[in-house]
Chain A
């Protein structure tokens, strides 16, 4: 295990989480078009941070920092990582962050079209997913010798956890589309709200089943139960934040500008969604690390 590489990856992961919050603040403050310039703001590298330009340009500065950190990450993995797939993932992270930066520029130059804005928000979660995975792959727990567990039951936990991760990712896409479909001064489209609520039910079922099976089958394995319990707590918090975000968002079109608590609660909902996603990825990777694939699961994998 390379402690330095792991710590650096954790630093990039933390910075990326902060960047997600900074991006969510831009959307909630309706600051995405505070300047019509990109990559400069009003023709300047360091403009006066007037009004919403603070959020938009602040987001760009944090994004630049994460971009530079990711260049370092890719170089670090290229130089130090022995496992080919993990090394490639480290380099892929750089490609993702470059694509994300270009998408961010497109959102400004095209005046925030829904598809591009939602893609920008979705790719942000994918990048976060990538660096979280790299953090897991470089962690001490991943390298420790631990006995492989066998699948205990008819439902393979490996595939259930993957299904939960995919469900959460689809829900994140729905959430991003919903958030970018209307600014604070317009009402959210009912059909997208209903789809997002439906997605929440699906996430509760899939992730809830995964957590329940982990606790039931491997209750003594803290390597699995810790992320499972954390995911359950975050999921509960996320549902509460989702209800609160919806209620505050219902009132925001009547307000003279984006106000708290709408801004804070919707941003917290985005951030908590990312944490649910990250924790589920950690859980899924740990399941793949410790739970042996069953014959049935193997066959399923080759269908």
Chain B
């Protein structure tokens, strides 16, 4: 996984709450067996609407999505994270993320930055007044920044410290856990014998 320290890119104001993963990528797009190519399904239903934000050329090359609360609810599909990444997003800012989505983001290297709802409102205002303006998500200082002058927004965001550390270091979770193999083996040796198995030796 690549290290993530700070990213500055065009901000996309998505004025919606409860953006579930069926909206991020509908089920019919989930049939690939690879991790790439899911950008075609990103917000597929909404992209048919000419007024949808990503259909505005000023936002089309966006890489920081700024959404309302409860982003990523619903299905556990990690394809939602891949679709955002395949499209070009590096970070999502929202006042509240669904747990599984947040977890999936952390594993795949998409930063899910949780900020106060008022901060989202202010960033939306900046991005809508200046389409194509950039937003910075700085993982090192844990801050988001947007806009200039009196409208400038700068605030800290929440992300769990362990995920932040892994993203900053670009570390693969499985490698870390395999380093604890002795602990796992010790635990396995103590498991009760009546625990079910799916196949017997």
Q: Do A and B come from one complex?
A: no
Q: Which residue numbers of A lie inside 8 Å of B, CB to CB?
A: none
